[in-house]
Amino acid sequence: MNLSNLTPAAGSVKTRKRIGRGSGSGMGGTSTRGHKGAKSRSGYSRKVGFEGGQMPIQRRLPKFGFKNINRVEFKAINLETLQVIADSNNLTKIGLNELREAGYISKSAMVKILGKGTLTAKLDVEANAFSKSAEEAIVAAGGSVVKI
């Protein structure tokens, strides 16, 4: 064996199609593109969503609903979550900073305290909004509510 008789493994190298090189090649004439029409031309690219002239689906379906530009999105935090934070960190005051440090909210989140679960700790809670049941539960446990 020497460099002059090295060859690639059988079947590993395919010869490329030589399109448009005469009818004897079997790929002359229309160059494997069929007959005429836009798809046979150079520069053809189908438009996104084009359905052959049929009315496309994004135009057949009606618009629906509306987006309220004044909507305020709150991150919901339950009383049981406040109890877990208070127990694990021995806190008496829970505000946005404490919730952020505990990993429950992001930097710019608006927080609403909801009334799911029970609260036994006496907490001073600071948030953007409170449900009525959460507010009552916090006050009943001896804590206070501060709306930001």
Say what the pLDDT of residue 100 is. 92
Q: From the centroid of its chain, how far is CA 118?
A: 33
List of the chain residues with pLDDT < 50: none
pLDDT tens profile 116-128: 999 998 999 999 9
Say what the pLDDT of residue 35 is. 94
Residue 40 three-state SS: helix
β-sheet bridge partners, residue 126: 146
How far is Cα 119 from Cα 133, in angstroms, rounded to an integer? 12
Topology of the domain covering 74-147: Ribosomal Protein L15; Chain: K; domain 2 (3.100.10)
Q: From the centroid of its chain, how far is CA 78?
A: 25
**Angle between helix 79-89 and 132-140 (nearest 10):** 40
Residue spans per domain, the chain: 74-147
CB of 113 within 8 A of CB of 79?
Answer: yes
Say what the pLDDT of residue 61 is. 92
